[in-house]
């Protein structure tokens, strides 16, 4: 029984994440928690457009916010996003990890601790290696992992690094990731 999906992306991530969220059917009710590297830029207009185009409530995660169904949470710029416990998220301003804040590894690791084998981790396009360690930890805690096929990624370093560090559960073309997520949650 999958309880959450975590997604990480960097360079090329705006489009890749948009694609996946729009492909998922509105009845998909598992919370989705996302770290997208965006520097200090605000993502409000991006979130509003996703909110309109996808079937979900898309928002920036707030401090100690309760995790709800049918909701997509993005890490706010310049804060790490953590899964605090099964029911809530938390933010942190501590040091950058992999030169990034928010860092994908922080989200993935804290999600793995909490959701263990009830988690799907998805790592997408990017030109650094944040998230590779996270994918490995999600696997270690029994979760399912999907890495975007580097051939279909604008930034190949991020998926490549994850594939090099551990053997992800699935390596999937961008086009087919939403479907893979659905398939893995069908087993619920």
Partner 1 sequence: MPSGTKHKNYDDSFYDQGNSDILEIELNLLLQAINLKYGYDFRNYSITHLKRRILHRLKISGLNTISELQNKVLWDKNFYGIFLQDLSINVTEMFRDPEFYLMFRTKVIPILSTYPHIKIWQAGCSTGEEVYSLAIILQEENLLNRTQIYATDFNKSVLEIAKHGIYNKKEMELYSRNYHDSGGKRNLADYYTSKYGSVLFDKSLAKNVVFADHNLVTDGVFAEVNLVFCRNVLIYFDKILQNKVLGLFSKSLAKRGFLCLGTKESLGFSDHENNFSVIDKENKIYKKLQVQND
- Give dist(CA 169, CA 175) in Å, integer: 17
Residue 39 C-beta: closest distance to partner 1, Å: 13
Contact pattern from residue 124 through residue 143 relative to partner 1, giving x for each residue in contact according to CB under 8 A and a dash for the rest: ---------x--xx--xxx-
57 touches partner 1 by CB under 8 A: no
Among 10, 54, 71, 82, binds partner 1 (CB under 8 A): 82
Q: Which is nearer to partner 1, 82 or 185 (CB)?
A: 82
Q: Which is nearer to partner 1, 37 or 136 (CB)?
A: 136
Q: Which is nearer to partner 1, 65 or 149 (CB)?
A: 65
Q: Establish whether the linkage from the previous residue to 12 is cis, with ω within 30° of 0.
A: no
Among 46, 116, 127, 150, binds partner 1 (CB under 8 A): 116
Helix, strand or coil for residue 15? helix
95 touches partner 1 by CB under 8 A: yes
109, containing H or E segment: helix 104-115
The reply to whether 37 belongs to the active site is yes
Among 19, 47, 70, 113, binds partner 1 (CB under 8 A): 113
Among 76, 121, 155, 168, binds partner 1 (CB under 8 A): 76
Closest CA to 48 of 5, 18, 24, 84: 18
Closest CA to 152 of 15, 42, 30, 48: 15
Q: Which residues neighbour 79 within 8 Å (Cβ) at sequence distance 6 or greater?
A: 91, 92, 93, 101, 102
- The answer to whether the CB of 156 falls within 8 A of the CB of 133 is no
Please identify every residue annotated as catalytic.
Answer: 10, 37, 130
> What residue ranges bind partner 1 (CB under 8 A)?
62-64, 76, 79, 82-85, 90-95, 106, 109-110, 113-114, 116-117, 133, 136-137, 140-142, 166
């Amino acid at each position: 029984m999958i309880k959450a999906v975590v997604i990480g992306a960097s360079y090329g991530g705006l489009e890749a994440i948009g694609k996946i969220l729009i492909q998922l059917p509105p009845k998909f009710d598992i919370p989705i928690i996302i770290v997208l590297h965006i520097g200090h830029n605000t993502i409000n207009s991006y979130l509003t457009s996703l909110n309109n185009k996808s079937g979900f409530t898309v928002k920036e995660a707030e401090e100690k916010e309760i995790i709800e169904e049918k909701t997509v949470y993005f890490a706010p710029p310049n804060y790490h996003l953590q899964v605090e416990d099964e029911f809530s998220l938390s933010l942190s301003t501590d040091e950058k990890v992999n030169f990034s804040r928010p860092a994908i590894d922080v989200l993935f690791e804290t999600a793995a601790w909490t959701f263990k084998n009830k988690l799907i981790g998805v790592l997408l396009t990017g030109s650094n290696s944040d998230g590779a360690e996270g994918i490995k930890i999600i696997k270690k805690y029994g979760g399912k992992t999907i890495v975007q096929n580097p051939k279909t990624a604008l930034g190949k370093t991020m998926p490549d690094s994850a594939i090099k560090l551990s053997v992800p559960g699935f390596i999937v073309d961008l086009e087919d990731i939403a479907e893979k997520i659905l398939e893995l949650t069908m087993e619920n």
